[in-house]
Amino acid sequence: MKTIIANWKMNVGVRESVALARGTLLTLRGRKNIPELVICPPFVALSEVRKIVARSHAALGAQNMSWEDQGAFTGEISPRMFEELGVTHVILGHSERRHVLGETDEMIQKKVQKALEHNLVVILCVGETKAQRDAGEERDIVKEQLLKAFDGLRIKNAEKIFIAYEPVWAIGTGQSAEVPQMLEMHEWIKRVLHERFKEIPASQFRVLYGGSVTPDNAYQFLRESLVDGVLVGGASVKINQFNEIVEAASEVLEAQS
């Protein structure tokens, strides 16, 4: 199975999200082999988008989450609120939150722990900056992010976890990772997680690629067995481009069936 996660970020309001959700579901229509689809609209649109995706093949995801269930935390959204909205997935540790909004590994670990406690599927983002890659530190950086995110946590299986490898230097730049670079990192992520959770085979950990995913490069990523799917940002709010990415995933699934 291949998974496509649409991260709409802060690009659309409620009415636009409803229209985009309808268009996104249309990309699945008539296809024999369809990927797993997760739609992550802004918080304000979760309730309305839920009505659109209900009883469809798509799941509803959130773009962030508090590590607290409730309390005096102005502006935060808790996993308990997600339960009422039918949210099943949550993106945590996105590079924009790490590098623009100052989230630390410790904060992300608390969010991962709380999400798993509430039976949410975690989409954990990891990745290095250009300076770190130029210095040859990309493996060490990603390993540290992974180990800190799961510090102190016990996991019996990997079904509630996606790891999204998003090199920071590729996000929103139009410059995606080369396939060999991406494959090397995906293999490394699976190895690190298997060493951390020895009872879980490396093959069970699902690793996605994100970072300037477009119709032009989606197929070359998705056709690789080490790539379990893609996390799509800018192209996910451009329905024609997103349709082509879904088509690429369907072609891969058909070829593999």
Each residue's pLDDT tens digit, 126-183:
999 999 999 999 999 999 999 999 999 999 889 999 999 999 888 777 777 889 999 9
256 pLDDT higher than 90: no
Q: For this structure, is 118 an active site residue?
A: no
Structure tokens, 220: 């070359």
- Which CATH class name applies to 3-256? alpha beta
The dihedral through the CA atoms of 113, 133, 2, 5 has a sign that is positive
Q: For this structure, is 224 an active site residue?
A: no
Choice among 94, 96, 103, 128 that is catalytic: 94
Q: What is the pLDDT of residue 89?
A: 98
Residue range 99-128, pLDDT digits in tens: 999 999 999 999 999 999 999 999 999 999
Q: Report, as an integer, the average pLDDT of 48-70.
A: 97
Q: Report, as an integer, the average pLDDT of 34-45.
A: 97
211 pLDDT higher than 90: no
Burial zone of 93 (CB within 10 Å; 0-12 exposed, 13-18 middle, 19+ buried): buried
Q: What is the DSSP letter of 35?
A: -
- Tokens 């945590």 map to which residue? 92
Q: What is the pLDDT of residue 176?
A: 77
* pLDDT, greater one: 211 or 236: 236
Q: What is the pLDDT of residue 169?
A: 84
Q: What is the pLDDT of residue 235?
A: 96
Q: What is the pLDDT of residue 156?
A: 83
Q: What is the pLDDT of residue 199?
A: 92
Cα(253)–Cα(255) distance, integer angstroms: 5
Cα(163)–Cα(167) distance, integer angstroms: 12
Choice among 96, 128, 138, 166 that is catalytic: 166
Q: What is the pLDDT of residue 229?
A: 98
- Average pLDDT of the residues of the chain: 95
Q: What is the pLDDT of residue 227?
A: 97
Q: Show me where the domains of the chain are located.
A: 3-256
Structure tokens, 231: 């996390």
Helix (H, G, I), strand (E, B) or coil at 50: helix
